[in-house]
Amino acid sequence: MKKLGLGCGAVVLLLGVAVLLGGCGAYNRLVSLQQGTESSWAQVENQYKRRADLVPNLVQTVQGAANFEKSTLTEVVQARAAATQVKVDPANVTPEQLAQFEKAQGQLSSALSRLLVSVERYPELKANANFRDLQAQLEGTENRIAVERQRFNEAVRAYNTAVRQFPGSLVAGLGHFAPKPYFQAPAGSENPPKVNFDFGAPAKK
């Protein structure tokens, strides 16, 4: 009986160690995945900041065109200011925060699109090398934004899956690991953004 008692005690001890090690492993994995989401978010912010940094030069170049619509430029400037004021804490991001961020950035995207469409009526701008360079940089940035948004969603998907699966779900509750929201794909996002024009093609009649 004594030997049996010692045997049961050893089994209980081994089970306790196994549970502790499993819990530590699950916790460390959640921490790693959480850091992955924060790193991905930093890349998203970098690309949005790069776009915001391009806007002042773009506006300054467009202002040089005679009689260019000032209301269009004002919309871009105001939308940029609003977009740069919205801050998101990647460690505690909420659906509401992300929705506010997306709304502000979407308004800037719309304002830039209207500006670039308006440029079609100004041949001197379309022939301006500086403008063409800024437009190409903007197009590249829009593409990088789309890529980084997708990578962020992939990081969030991996993290959220670990939070909901056993034994991660138990550790997540104890460690306060909450699921994170995704970027919602805007309408037409299956098509790459087009902000570049064919300057050499003749106008269609």
pLDDT digits (tens, 9 = 90+) for 142-174: 999 999 999 999 999 999 999 988 877 887 777
pLDDT of residue 13: 52
Q: Map out the domains of the chain as residue ranges.
A: 7-175
Q: Which residue has the higher pLDDT, 43 or 14?
A: 43
* Structure token digits, residue 179: 């699921």
Tell me how far CA of residue 114 lies from CA of 43, 75, 103, 111, in angstroms. 26, 9, 17, 5
Stated pTM of the model? 0.78
What is the distance between the alpha carbons of residues 72 and 70, in angstroms, rounded to a whole number? 5
Over range 72-99, report the average pLDDT.
Answer: 93
Mind listing the pLDDT tens digit for each residue in 109-121?
999 999 999 988 8
Contact between 25 and 130 under an 8 Å Cβ cutoff? The reply is: no
Collapsing DSSP states into helix, strand and coil, what is residue 117? helix
pLDDT of residue 12: 53
* Structure token digits, residue 3: 């030997």
The string of DSSP codes covering 19-85 is HHHHHHHHHHHHHHHHHHHHHHHHHHHHHHHHHHHHHHHHHHHHHTSTT--HHHHHHHHHHHHHHHH
Over range 40-45, report the average pLDDT.
Answer: 96
Ranges 7-21, 34-48, 54-68, 170-184, most confident:
34-48
Mind listing the pLDDT tens digit for each residue in 76-89?
999 999 999 999 99
Contact between 189 and 146 under an 8 Å Cβ cutoff? The reply is: yes
- The percentage of residues in the chain with a pLDDT greater than 70, rounded to a whole number, is 78
Question: Is CATH 1.20.1440.20 what the domain over 7-175 is classified as, yes or no?
Answer: yes
pLDDT of residue 24: 74
pLDDT of residue 39: 95
Residue 141 has pLDDT above 90, yes or no: yes
What DSSP character marks residue 205?
-
Residue 198 has pLDDT above 90, yes or no: no
pLDDT of residue 202: 40
